[in-house]
A and B are shown apart, each in its own frame.
Chain A
Amino acid sequence: MTENQKNIILEVRDLSIGYADKKKKVIVKNQLNFKANQGEFICLLGKNGVGKSTLLKTLSKVIPKLAGNILINKNEINKINSKLFSKILSVVLTERLPESNLTVFELVALGRQPHTNWVDNLSVEDLNMVNNALELTNTVHLKDKNIFELSDGQLQKVLISRALAQDTPIIIFDEPTAHLDIHHKIETFLLLKKLSKEAQKTIIISTHEIHWAIELADTIWLMTANNCYFDSPENLKNQERFQELFDSLLVTFDAQSNQFKISVP
């Protein structure tokens, strides 16, 4: 077994994703095959409606897969019970939190639920994990604030802390930079990159920040209308795959700047 194979945490074989009910099946994408390693920073790119959220929801067991296999640590995810699964994979969602009196500390501590006893009592280890998670995102000073006193940028960091406190090898983010200004977007990207390396987390994010994804991601999952590519940014660039992101002739990809250019007719 080579070193590389040892670190494979997620393996997907012939996966079909989409939505199904009793009457019909809508297949969004099929025949997906890819792998993810421990400590890998992965950016999922694709235009709206192409199936990014469907893929992430399928990987995090929010919706069932239609066919194929998803293996985490060589175990089929359907065979992992939800308690155990919550110790393997955590999520950071785009949806707004419901109103409550939660403080930052309490919110992050909720990440410990899969590890705590039935009355949610925090052990010394739990407290250490919570404080450690707050330190990693530089949010210790916010600890006692109500979560509704936070700015969007602060809240995003606190939600990342919550996922860190859950202490899972894989963390999935659904558009973590969507509501943020450019400063916080870069900060979030760098933080996630840092966490993937320092804490050896496999971090999967969906994003529209294509140029930063190309610069910072270890691997890019690129979803276009007709195809899906799972490769390093360099390879995808060399194969001119980014051009396929937009089928319009008005937008062209400039490999020099990693940016899309608008060509006004």
Chain B
Amino acid sequence: MNSNNTYQIPFVSLLLLFIIVLMMNLSFGSVDIPIQDIFDILFNKTSSNENWQIIITEFRIPKAITAIFGGSALAVSGLLMQTLFRNPLADPYILGISSGASLGIAILILLVSIGGFSTIFLSNWSFIIAAAIGASLIMLVVLTMAGKIKNTMSILIIGLMFGSFAAAIIGIMAYFSTANQLQQYIAWGFGNLGNHSTQELWIYFGFYIIGIIPLLFLIKPLNSLLLGENYAQSLGVNIKKVRLSILVVTSLLTGLVTAFSGPIAFVGLAVPHLTKLIFNTSNHFILIPAVLLNGAILMLISDTIAQLPNSEFTLPINAITTLFGAPIVIWLIVRKRKINY
């Protein structure tokens, strides 16, 4: 397959859109900060208002970075799942990763209250670690089984089963929980992009890069998978190896985002569709960078809306991604009258 110049215009437009939404994201919030001051703070490290500088560097930039990482990682994971499983409804959580992370969080909350530990244990780090352990465990089980199974569709079903299994355990735990515990658990489930220190962000960045780099080597096999596994194999693709690589990358990226920001819905499902409708191609050489970019854009827009400009309130990010994303996808599908994956 070939890349050609027809894709330059949409790519340039998306890049511009990305910069605009990033600036809006930094500018709007409980306090509106003029774009001019944002540029000053970003490039000259000075500002007419000391408080603004703190708000931008300490809060809004880390939050924007989390949004960019999270949106792009989830979106590209969704693309990988949809291509691998040849299913337009596949999303990054289809392998049960978010359920695993949720289980980790549920156990953490329960342990802290039963063990009588002080709520200091419910810090950022403990949430990240608990979610990461939960996601990794589910991921390890699914990957181990995937290594033994020939049929790709069976992996999908096993992933779904583990997800339901974890959800059931959470259900039992929730039944015996206090209102306070439940609230903590539900609050985590709403998703949260903020509250990350520089140190946390560096760790996030490190794992993010480890997850993104293998994508370069998956472009070609992903394209051949468009013809189905048998044709891909006849083109020299080692199906088992490629399948495992796709699952490892997806698990890593999705587990990472879930650990840092909670189970953020919808982005992974919708962005690949949006991108395919905009670019009208199935070529992963185009789709992967476009999906990364679109994921980041959608997440930044959602976060800007969630901040409710000029108010003290913040809406749950999870609700916003769906509330504003779903109508866009429906509109595009009705307009183009078709959707492929």
B154 within 8 A of A: no
Select which of B2, B219, B230, B238 is within 8 A of A95 by beta carbon: B230
> A97–B227 contact, CB under 8 A?
yes
Chain B nearest Cβ from A60, distance in angstroms: 7
B285 near A106: Cβ-Cβ < 8 Å: no
The one of B2, B226, B236 in contact with A83, judged by C-beta atoms closer than 8 angstroms, is: B236
Q: Is A85 among interface residues, defined by CB-CB distance under 8 A?
A: yes
Among A6-14, A107-115, A202-210, the stretch in contact with B: A107-115
Per-residue CB contact flags for chain A residues 71-105 toward chain B (1 = under 8 Å, else 0) read 00000000000111111011101010111111000
Which residues from chain B contact A116 at a C-beta distance below 8 Å? 220
B198 at the interface (CB under 8 A from A): no
Known: A101-B340, A109-B2, A110-B224. A85 touches B236 (CB 8 A): yes
Known contacts A82-B236, A82-B238, A86-B236, A62 near B1 by CB under 8 Å: no
Using a Cβ–Cβ cut-off of 8 Å, how many residues does chain B contribute to the interface with A? Answer: 29
Complex Cα–Cα for A87 and B340 (A):
30
Contact assessment for A101 and B282 in the assembled complex, using a CB-CB cutoff below 8 Å = yes
Q: How far is the CB of B280 from chain A (nearest CB, A)?
A: 6
- Residue from the set B223, B234, B235, B238 with the largest chain A CB neighbour count within 10 Å: B234
Residues of chain B lying within 8 A (CB to CB) of residue A87: 236
Does B196 reach chain A (CB closer than 8 Å)? no
Compute how far the CA of A1 lies from the CA of B115 in the bound complex, rounded to whole angstroms: 85
- Tell me if B228 is interfacial: C-beta within 8 Å of chain A: yes
| Alpha-carbon gap, A13 to B253, bound state (A) | 49
List B residues at the A interface (Cβ < 8 Å).
1-3, 86, 216-217, 219-220, 223-224, 226-228, 230-231, 233-238, 276, 280-283, 285, 340-341
Can you list 16 A-B pairs, Cβ within 8 angstroms, ordered by A?
A62-B234, A82-B238, A83-B236, A86-B234, A87-B236, A89-B234, A91-B231, A98-B86, A100-B282, A102-B282, A110-B224, A118-B219, A118-B220, A119-B216, A121-B3, A122-B1
Closest 3 CB pairs of A and B: A86-B236, A100-B282, A101-B282
